[in-house]
Structure 1
Amino acid sequence: MGASYPTKIILAFRSGGICAFPKCGKHLTYDAKVGDDAHIGEAAHICGEKPGAARYDASMTDEQRDNVRNLIYLCTDHHTIIDKVEADWPVSELQALKESHEKQVRQAMEEAFADVAFPELQTAVSWVSNQTPAGNGSFDLTAPDEKIKKNELSNGARHIIAAGLTSRATVAAYVEAEAQLDSDFPERLKAGFLEQYYGLRKQGHKGDELFELMCDFAQRGMRRQADRTAGIAVLIYLFEICDVFEK
């Protein structure tokens, strides 16, 4: 069956768009000349996808095999290595590698919130100038805890939101400064996120899955950690103050 496209996007987000193989560090995002950038990493199965595949476990269901918990984000070369040299890469080793890599990515993101400043925010929302202002929604403040419960988000999402809220004053000041130059800026900013949010909702995504897909969208293929984190800081700012996520 294979992992779904949204699952691959979530895996890429958790991996920071970087190959998880030790000392590889390859950025697996293609900078598109037209349209959105593309994730080009591979969602490698830890326990094989089908009989005969490396580390195949007959006791698993197809859903379990294609779940993000059984996938590790790799470049083509290292995906080939773990499957061709199976003895060197048992399930326990790959699970530990995945956990360590994704933990490092999350820690780097959370630590970078403290350094979010106007230059990074400008890069993160450079797409806004081409966005049509939003025609619906609101900018009403909602308590984060209330919104987290409403959207059925886990502690993992809660930690990202809590870390992101440390940048709230900086993001608010940036949005206010931009609005002085362009009164439609806040509405265009909101519009871009709302369009993506409602599109994902229509596809049936919700909870943590929806949150992580929105985080990936907020990063828009950016490679620098500071810029990637700034994109998520903007998302969390909107999470608190408008209709991006249910209130």
Structure 2
Amino acid sequence: MAASYPTKIILAFRSGGVCAMPKCARHLTYNSPTGDDTYVGEAAHIKGEKPKAARYEADMTDVERDHIDNLLYLCTDDNTIIDKVPADWTTVKLLEIKTKHEMQVRQAMELAFADVAFPELQNAVAWVSNQPPATNGSFDLTAPEEKIKKNALSNGARNIIAAGMMSRDTVAAYVEAEAQLDSDFPERLKAGFLEEYFGQRKEGYKGDELFELMCAFAQRGLRKQADRTAGIAVLVYLFEICDVFEK
């Protein structure tokens, strides 16, 4: 077995799209001119995947081995190093690296919400210009707390949503300004997220997995922290005011 592609996407999101190894921070996303972004980082197993692999534990199930909690987002070089020299890279040490790195990424994102402005939002939604408008759905207000409960989201997702609400007025003002220039802009923005949302639901994803896949979608192709956070701010805005996470 191996980690699924959606699991790798979530891992990349939690890692900020960069190698988790301290002092590396290599960007691990290939931005294609065609607009198709590819995650090139590796989902490295902390506790080995196979019997002869580094840090292998026989009492683990395959599901546990490929679970995101046992995976570290690394570049190819660092993945090779931790497996070639396991004495230097113990399970405890790698788990500490994972926890610290993902926490730093989360904290940086939450702090950046306060600085989201029009330039970052423009970068985050540049793809909308090629998106056809939504043909149905609504922009009726639904309380975020209701959606959180309905989608069984954890405190982690709740914290992202709460932090993202700091930028709600800025995103709303940006969408309104864009609508003055292009009346279809709000519907195209919504359509892009709804297409991804319903596609992931069709694949069976829900709850936190679905939420994090949508966060990764909101950040695709973006490298700067400010732009990546702006992408999440847009998702949180839509989470509140339209039928993303509504059905």
TM-score by length of 1: 0.99
Give the drift of 1:91. 0.4
SS of 2:192's equivalent?
A: helix
Q: Which amino acid aligns with 2:114?
A: A
How many Å separate the matches in 2 of 1:245 and 1:69? Answer: 25
Paired residue for 1:46?
Answer: 46
How many Å separate the matches in 2 of 1:31 and 1:135? Answer: 29
Give the drift of 1:185. 0.5
Paired residue for 2:234?
Answer: 234
Q: Which amino acid aligns with 2:223?
A: R
Paired residue for 1:55?
Answer: 55
SS of 1:87's equivalent?
A: coil
SS of 1:88's equivalent?
A: coil
How many Å separate the matches in 1 of 2:190 and 2:246? Answer: 14
How many Å separate the matches in 2 of 1:49 and 1:136? Answer: 45
Paired residue for 1:16?
Answer: 16
How many Å separate the matches in 1 of 2:94 and 2:56? Answer: 13
SS of 1:44's equivalent?
A: strand
Instruction: Say whether residues 1:31 and 2:36 are aligned partners.
Output: no
Q: Which amino acid aligns with 1:213?
A: L
Paired residue for 1:142?
Answer: 142
Matches for 1:110-189 after TM superposition, within 5 Å: 110-189=110-189
Give the drift of 1:37. 1.1
Give the drift of 1:122. 0.4
- CA offset digits 1:155-183 (Å, max 9, x no partner): 00000000000000000000000001111
- CA offset digits 1:199-233 (Å, max 9, x no partner): 00000000000000000000012000000000000
Give the drift of 1:246. 2.0
Paired residue for 2:78?
Answer: 78
* CA RMSD, 1 decimal: 0.6
How many Å separate the matches in 2 of 1:128 and 1:101? Answer: 31
Give the drift of 1:111. 0.2
How many Å separate the matches in 1 of 2:36 and 2:208? Answer: 23
How many Å separate the matches in 2 of 1:33 and 1:130? Answer: 14
SS of 2:134's equivalent?
A: coil
How many Å separate the matches in 2 of 1:74 and 1:59? Answer: 25
How many Å separate the matches in 1 of 2:221 and 2:72? Answer: 19
How many Å separate the matches in 1 of 2:202 and 2:145? Answer: 24
Give the drift of 1:142. 0.9
Q: Which amino acid aligns with 1:80?
A: T
How many Å separate the matches in 2 of 1:110 and 1:245? Answer: 21
SS of 2:208's equivalent?
A: helix
SS of 1:30's equivalent?
A: strand
How many Å separate the matches in 1 of 2:243 and 2:50? Answer: 42
Deviant stretches of 4+, over 3 Å: none
Aligned-residue identity in percent: 78
Aligned residues: 247
Matches for 1:91-102 after TM superposition, within 5 Å: 91-102=91-102
Stretch deviating more after TM superposition (29-38 or 164-173): 29-38
SS of 2:44's equivalent?
A: strand
Give the drift of 1:197. 0.3
